A and B are shown apart, each in its own frame.
Chain A
Amino acid sequence: EPEVTQTPSHQVTQMGQEVILRCVPISNHLYFYWYRQILGQKVEFLVSFYNNEISEKSEIFDDQFSVERPDGSNFTLKIRSTKLEDSAMYFCASSEDWWGDTQYFGPGTRLTVL
C-alpha cells in the first residue's frame, strides 16, 4: 500500500540553526500538508500546498517557515532559525483531492531544538 515517508525520523539541532524536513507524498496525490504535534498536545495544521504554491497557512506558519516541492517527488519544510518552541513532531500528509478527502500522514520527524 502506498505510504507517505519522512526523513529524518529524528533531528536534533541548536537554537538558531536552519533545518529542512523532508517528505515523499503518495505519488498520485496533488495536495500536501504539514502539521505539527507538540509532545502531549493535539495535532495542529501548519500549511497546505497545491500546484506549487501555498493554498493556506495557519498563524503558526510565520516567516521562519517555508515549504517547497523541489522536484516531482519531494516536499520539504524549512525552518530558518529554529527556536526552542519549535521542538515537536512534524507530520507530512498528502491527499488525492482537496476538501473532504482522506489525508494520509507520514510517520513524522521528531525535531528537538536545544
Chain B
Amino acid sequence: QQQVKQSPQSLIVQKGGISIINCAYENTAFDYFPWYQQFPGKGPALLIAIRPDVSEKKEGRFTISFNKSAKQFSLHIMDSQPGDSATYFCAASGKTSGSRLTFGEGTQLTVNP
C-alpha cells in the first residue's frame, strides 16, 4: 500500500535526447510527489515536485506528468546532457502518512556525449 514502483532501473540516452522515468503508486492518500537527483557520494537533492491538483509541471528542461486516475507520474528530461547523468528517485508522501517520503527504487541515468 505504501510502495512506489519506479522504472526503468537504468537508462542510457544520447546527448540531446529525451529521458523518461516512470513511477506508480498505490496509496491514494499520497498527495505530494517529488523527484530527487542523486550524484555519487552525495545526498538526494530535490529536482522538481508536483501535487495532484495539476497534471503537469515544468521547470526548465524537467517536466513532471501526473495521471491521478492511473496513479502514475513520470519525469521527462528534455535535451538530456552528460551532466544529467545521475540516479533519479521518485518519492511520495501524504498528510495521512505523515511527512515521511516513500522512495522508488531509483533509475541510473547515463547520458552519452
Give the A-binding residues of B (Cβ under 8 A): 31-32, 34, 36, 41-46, 49, 51, 89, 91, 93-95, 98-106
* A107 B99 Cβ-Cβ under 8 A: no
Give min CB distance, A45 to chain B, whole Å: 4
The closest CB in chain A to the CB of B49 belongs to: A102
CB of A95 within 8 A of chain B? yes
* A42 B89 Cβ-Cβ under 8 A: yes
How large, as a class, is the contact surface on chain A?
Answer: 20 to 34
* A99 B101 Cβ-Cβ under 8 A: no
* B43 A102 Cβ-Cβ under 8 A: no
Give min CB distance, A47 to chain B, whole Å: 9
Contact among B34, B42, B89, B100 with A58 in the assembled complex (CB-CB below 8 Å): B100
Give min CB distance, B45 to chain A, whole Å: 7
- B-side contacts of A100, CB under 8 Å: 31-32, 51, 93, 95
- B-side contacts of A104, CB under 8 Å: 46
Q: How far, in whole Å, are A43 and B42 apart by their CA atoms in the complex?
A: 13
* B46 A103 Cβ-Cβ under 8 A: yes
Could you list 13 examples of A-B contacts with CB < 8 Å?
A4-B43, A31-B99, A33-B100, A42-B106, A43-B36, A43-B106, A45-B100, A93-B43, A99-B32, A99-B98, A100-B51, A107-B43, A108-B42
Q: How far, in whole Å, are A48 and B91 apart by their CA atoms in the complex?
A: 16
The closest CB in chain A to the CB of B89 belongs to: A43
Other A-B pairs beyond A43-B101, A43-B106, A44-B103, 16, CB < 8 Å: A31-B99, A33-B99, A42-B106, A45-B100, A45-B102, A48-B100, A55-B98, A56-B99, A58-B100, A99-B98, A100-B93, A105-B43, A105-B44, A107-B42, A107-B43, A108-B41
Q: How far, in whole Å, are A104 and B43 apart by their CA atoms in the complex?
A: 9
Q: How far, in whole Å, are A107 and B106 apart by their CA atoms in the complex?
A: 17
**What string of 1s and 0s marks CB contacts (under 8 Å) between A50-84 and chain B?**
00000110100000000000000000000000000
- A-side contacts of B98, CB under 8 Å: 48, 55-56, 99
CB of A106 within 8 A of chain B? yes
User: Known interface pairs A100-B51, A103-B101. Does A91 touch B93 (Cβ–Cβ under 8 Å)?
Assistant: no
